[in-house]
Amino acid sequence: MKLVTSEQMRALEQRAVDAGTPVSALMEEAGLAVAQEAWLALGVVAGRRVLVLCGPGNNGGDGLVAARHLADWEADVAVYQPVARAEDDTNLAAVRERGVPVFVAAEDAEYATLDDAIENAEMVIDALLGTGRSRPIDGVFAEILRRLADARGRPGAPQVIAVDLPSGVDADTGRADPLAVRADMTVTFGYPKVGLAVLPGSELAGRVQVVDIGLPKDAGAALTLEQTSAAWVRERLPARARDGNKGTFGRVLVVAGSREYVGAPRLAAAACYRAGAGLVTIACSPYVQACVAPALAEATYLLIDDPRETARLVLDRLGAYDVLLIGPGLGQAAETRGAVLEILYGVPSGIRGCVVDADALNALAQAPGWHRDVPASCVLTPHPGEMARLLASDVRAVQHDRLATALRAAAEWGQVVVLKGAHTVAAAPDGRGAIDPHADPLLASAGTGDVLAGAIAGLLAQGMAGFEAAASAVFLHAAAGGELGHEMGDRGLLASDLLDAMPRTVRTVREGPRRPPAGRLPDLAEIAARFGAQEPPV
């Protein structure tokens, strides 16, 4: 699913206007869509009490159009404005012509009318701010949202539908004003905004419904930001030839593990296999091999008896492999850091891919100008702390705008960057970005990053390009966690649990949703009649 920033959305709307679609027509389509979603949420709209909070901008205009349609469908509608709109506003006039009461905060003594309206409403439509507000909310807007939030905390609270974006959520970063109110649904226009795909905006938005408002049909062609989905991944997963062999599906050399971290190479190598790689070799010390081999009989090994020989041995053998995965559990000894840099600077140009994770990232962070010396085929997989070290920054700055941080780093370094965390971001040097839809605390446990690194390497080994492999592995990894969460809840997952779950997740993604039974499907009127509701208007 394509995502847009607020600037991109304004440009798309301007394209529609330049092509002959007036702003009023876009607003009409948007408001009608909101009204239709309100109808569907309420079931029967006649006589139902709906409060529409209408701000002074276009978002408020969308709300007025929705109020007009709901009034035409015999809902009991009221409109409340933080500030009065111009008297010649045609949408406001149309609402008043229908006898809809319109209140303005300046005329509402101590907000008594607002409190009564919220108390009596079965649904509140939030059309206060939309994408046009980024500074902190104050004044009358703050008071309205504060009172709505109070009502949402009481039994029998009204449903809330946000228009385009919950008021107080930043369209580009997902950051939220403390007064932003959680919506049950957000009806967004044309394309979802980036802020609806990342926390906390994704949590405040509720269910996101995307509706067409008449943008140019080719509007999405130039958009470079996406939210990944099962369909997105399914289109990109490599086929599995029936006459293939382990060489067909790629060979991965994993440089990982130390005396302190013997589990990391096992998790990473097993994940390579679970993602579909044909052969995985672990380059490690005899001590690590003795610990890992009993738990992973399928791996082969490049034994490194003398740590000082690590770089030479790895580089001598690397030409026989398609992908290098380096970093999990290596530790941060000076000798190890030196070997990591020597390996990365010496990676042959013909290699299909290189995944740089964990302690290999920490080694790069201590080598100024490293990005000029490593191959361009790398996928870097930092968590926020590692990203902060690579950028000589801090975690707070990284998390302030995760998407922008990842995109800037990918462009500067010329590498694919996977910034891990809730709604993990994959970014490519050419400006493409993919945000994962999952935000699951179940995955917040040691070793899950090793599994993700292995999954990326396994997909690279099968011929996927770096960005596609990274974004697809992120989705599969998180979706596997989500499947386990149905059984386990939100805690207690071991990283090794993901290993068995991932092939099942790949199968689910590849096969797609189950088809409905054969035969004629009921139409909308039949469905509505079955549940005692009227058919929603068109």
Residue 381 lies in a domain: yes
Q: Which domain holds residue 305?
A: 247-511
**Maximum distance among all alpha carbons in the chain?**
86
Q: What is the pLDDT of residue 517?
A: 55
Residue 50 lies in a domain: yes
The CATH code of the domain that includes 273 is 3.40.1190.20
**377 and 466: one domain?**
yes
**Residue 221 DSSP class:** G
**223 and 252: one domain?**
no
**252 and 192: one domain?**
no
| Run means of pLDDT, 10 residues per run, the chain, 538 residues | 94 92 95 96 94 95 97 97 93 96 94 95 95 80 96 91 96 94 96 96 96 89 94 94 88 97 97 97 97 96 96 96 98 95 93 96 96 93 98 96 97 97 97 96 94 98 97 98 90 94 95 63 55 57
**111 phi, psi to nearest 5 deg:** 60, 25
Compute CA distances 187 → 14, 23, 62, 264, 350, whole Å: 20, 18, 11, 43, 48
**183 and 271: one domain?**
no
The CATH code of the domain that includes 60 is 3.40.50.10260
* Contact assessment for residue 30 and residue 67, using Cβ atoms and an 8 Å cutoff: no
**Residue 328 DSSP class:** T
Instruction: Residue 429: count other Cβ atoms within 10 Å of its Cβ.
Output: 18
Reported pTM: 0.91
3-state secondary structure of 275: coil
* Contact assessment for residue 235 and residue 308, using Cβ atoms and an 8 Å cutoff: no
CA torsion 118-120-126-129 (nearest 10°) is -30
**251 and 222: one domain?**
no
Instruction: Residue 268: count other Cβ atoms within 10 Å of its Cβ.
Output: 36
Residue 535 lies in a domain: no
Q: What is the pLDDT of residue 130?
A: 82
Residue 417 lies in a domain: yes
Residue 530 lies in a domain: no
Q: Output Rg (C-alpha) for the chain, integer angstroms.
A: 27
**15 and 141: one domain?**
yes
* Beta-ladder partners of 200: none
**255 and 179: one domain?**
no
**40 and 150: one domain?**
yes
Domain total for the chain?
2
Compute CA distances 392 → 337, 364, 368, 378, 397, whole Å: 18, 11, 10, 20, 10
Residue 359 lies in a domain: yes
Instruction: Residue 217: count other Cβ atoms within 10 Å of its Cβ.
Output: 8
Helices (H) and strands (E) in the chain, counts: 20, 18
Residue 520 lies in a domain: no
**365 and 462: one domain?**
yes
**273 and 215: one domain?**
no
3-state secondary structure of 175: coil
Residue 477: both structure tokens together? 């990894």
**202 and 70: one domain?**
yes
How far is C-alpha 221 from the geometric centre of its chain's CA atoms? 20
Residue 233 lies in a domain: no
- Domain-ending residue, one of 176, 199, 227: 227
Element (H, E) at 481: helix 466-488
**415 and 319: one domain?**
yes
Q: What is the pLDDT of residue 527?
A: 52
